[in-house]
Structure 1
Amino acid sequence: MKYLKLIRLPEIFLVIFVQFLIKYYLFEPFAVSITLNGFGLFLVTLSSVCLVMGSQVISAIFQARAIRVNNPEEVTVGKEISEKGAYNFFIILNVIAVGVGFYLSNIIGRPMFSAIFIVISALTYIHASFLKNYALIDNIVIAALSAFSIIILALFDLLPAITPENQVSQNTLFSILLDYSLFAFLMVLLIEVINDQENINGHHKIGIKTLPILLGKERTNKLICAFTILPILAVIYYMYTYLYHNQYALLYALFLILAPLLYFVVKTWNASTQKNYRHLSFVLKMIILLSIMSIGLYQFILL
């Protein structure tokens, strides 16, 4: 049980939840051609969860020094769990993820897809051990890994089942999932920069050059506000393009996604304390959750 302290369970549940929503509230209502059955979905989710947990474990190992500065009461690696034990846990998780990914790739007749899991597994180690020293690059890698948990079902369930006859419907849903994965990428990138703001003292003491350390808190705040324009424009575009004829979906996007994004911008502008940044991170995580839940609305919007 002590190894669960290395895992951020809400993120794991979110991965499971989003893949369940996609499979049963997006694919099934539209009766699209799919490749995976229930067991196949379980394998996809298992592999995705192991990759996410692996990235969390390796991050906990390499961020242990920073955690001792920022939140000493939350230290796990080197205190409750040895560094060797944490490394072994990381290796086990990645072996499971790659092994399941290899099996899945052969099931769907796309053995080359197994390389995706190998690359992601390698990235989880590289980003924690090496890319932490490069401002923003580390954040981008984490955001890309998060977006993968959404697009993976499009790659393994929709893509292999595309034929000339069903290409239009398959491509429509593939495009929707691609849009969601891009939105998730933008939101997780914002969360990572906000986390860097919150942990600036610890990162500074151990020599990690994050964006807030290079630019300062105030400039980084302004950069975050400017960058948030991208997801705001994306939501407005979706509202205008897809939701304008559905009042309930439009109100959902307006009050539960767009309004919190605008609130986030206002609050970020003058944020300065750990408490401020922790609140902003929570707001972004709620926006991601509400955005993912909107996947279940497409059967009412498009059908």
Structure 2
Amino acid sequence: MNILKLIRYQNLLLIVLLQLVFRYGFLKYQNIPLTLTDWQYGLLVLATVLIAAAGYIINDIMDQETDLTNKPNQVIIGKGISEATAYNWYFGLNIAGMLIGYYLADFVNKTSFFGIFIISSALLYLYANSLKQMAVIGNMVVALILALSVIVIGMFDIIPLFPYVGLEQSAKMKVILSILLDYAVFAFIINFIREIVKDAQDIEGDNLEGMRTLPVIIGITKTTKVVFTIGLLAVLLLLWYINDNLMENQLYPTVVYSLITVVGPMVFFLIKIWNAKEKKDFQLLSKVLKYIIFFGIMSILVLTYNIKLNG
């Protein structure tokens, strides 16, 4: 049970859900060829999860002192699992994820794609070791990792087939890739905001450990205003996207869903973040953003149904 807590199994399940929903709730209904078989796609999901799990472990190894202040009841390394055992899990999960990633890259004849697994693992290590102490940069790295879990779907399941399809199929596949990229950008922005909120939540321990996060550098009050500004820009971007892409194509059920489950909670977030001061305020806002990411991902199912309804 301790190892499940250490690898943040709830977050890993979100990644699994994300990748399964995009494949079996979206791509499978688009009448385009896909590169990977079902079991190979399962390997892609597994590789993503293994590397993400390793990232959580190395983060907890490097964060032991800070976590004793920020969340003493949730500390696992040194209590439930020794540091040596944690390192063994870290290396084992990384190696397994890399081997699977190399096999998949070789299978699709794009060995350069193996680089995304190397980059992800390296970024997670650098984040845990040093980047998380740098304001904004560390937040961007974590946000990028979630975005890459969407991008990797298109890389392995769609891009390798471009040389083998006609112009009409190629054009359709480019549209689908652009939709995946849109979702990756959405995941990046919302998770980036969430990471800053989590830094505000952990400011006490981070300050004691000399970490240079944004809240430590500019204080809670200014941080909330920065987050409010980014959040407002995100809402305006979402509204533009809904109007320019969904309304324009008369995808009204998706419009209603997006307004209720994504834009509405984002407006609630903006109202609450303006005056947020206490740790419990940021805990609530972090959960709100997590729900927004979840419902944003699930919107692809509504979009798929909506496209078939209009088709």
TM range (shorter): over 0.9
Which residue does the alignment assign to 1:291? 296
In structure 2, distance between residues paired with 1:192 and 1:56: 14
Which aligned pairs between 1:74-113 and structure 2 lie closer than 5 A? Answer: 74-113=74-113
Q: Is 2:286 the counterpart of 1:247? A: no
Contact 2:12 2:49 in 1 (8 A): yes
The answer to which of 2-11 and 146-155 deviates more is: 2-11
Q: Give the aligned residue type for 2:152.
A: I
Contact 1:33 1:170 in 2 (8 A): no
Which residue does the alignment assign to 1:15? 15
Which residue does the alignment assign to 2:189? 186
1:218 deviates by: 0.3
Q: TM-score scaled to structure 1, two decimals?
A: 0.97
Aligned counterpart for 2:198 among listed residues 195, 198, 203: 195
1:204 deviates by: 0.5
3-state DSSP of counterpart to 1:28? helix
Contact 2:66 2:206 in 1 (8 A): yes
1:164 deviates by: 4.1
1:246 deviates by: 2.9
Which residue does the alignment assign to 1:2? 2
RMSD: 1.2
Which residue does the alignment assign to 1:134? 134
Contact 2:32 2:173 in 1 (8 A): yes
Contact 2:253 2:302 in 1 (8 A): no
In structure 2, distance between residues paired with 1:241 and 1:297: 17
Which residue does the alignment assign to 1:212? 215
Q: Is 2:285 the counterpart of 1:280? A: yes
Contact 1:134 1:210 in 2 (8 A): yes
Q: Give the aligned residue type for 1:268.
A: I
The answer to which of 129-138 and 100-109 deviates more is: 129-138
Contact 2:228 2:270 in 1 (8 A): yes
Query: Per-residue CA shift, 1:182-223, capped at 9, x if unaligned?
Result: 110011111110000000000011111100000100000000
Contact 1:243 1:301 in 2 (8 A): no
Q: Tell me, which stretches of 5 or more residues in structure 1 are unaligned?
A: none
In structure 1, distance between residues paired with 2:301 and 2:263: 18
Aligned counterpart for 2:272 among listed residues 267, 270, 294: 267
Q: TM-score scaled to structure 2, two decimals?
A: 0.95
Which residue does the alignment assign to 1:39? 39
1:2 deviates by: 2.2
Q: Is 2:121 the counterpart of 1:121? A: yes
Query: Per-residue CA shift, 1:219-257, capped at 9, x if unaligned?
Result: 000000001123212321221123222332211111111
In structure 2, distance between residues paired with 1:135 and 1:18: 28
1:300 deviates by: 3.1
% identical equivalent positions: 32
Contact 2:253 2:306 in 1 (8 A): no
3-state DSSP of counterpart to 1:31? coil
Query: Per-residue CA shift, 1:122-172, capped at 9, x if unaligned?
Result: 111111001122111111111101111111110000111123422111001
Contact 1:221 1:270 in 2 (8 A): yes
Query: Per-residue CA shift, 1:93-117, capped at 9, x if unaligned?
Result: 1101111000000011111111221
The answer to which of 103-112 and 6-15 deviates more is: 6-15
In structure 2, distance between residues paired with 1:64 and 1:248: 46
In structure 1, distance between residues paired with 2:65 and 2:39: 41
Q: Give the aligned residue type for 1:243.
A: L
3-state DSSP of counterpart to 1:175? helix
Q: Give the aligned residue type for 1:227.
A: I
Which residue does the alignment assign to 2:240? 237
Which residue does the alignment assign to 2:26? 26
1:71 deviates by: 1.7
The answer to which of 184-193 and 226-235 deviates more is: 226-235
In structure 1, distance between residues paired with 2:166 and 2:222: 51
Aligned counterpart for 1:172 among listed residues 172, 175, 178: 175
In structure 2, distance between residues paired with 1:299 and 1:292: 12
Q: Give the aligned residue type for 1:255.
A: I
In structure 2, distance between residues paired with 1:196 and 1:27: 36
Q: Is 2:230 the counterpart of 1:227? A: yes
3-state DSSP of counterpart to 2:73? helix
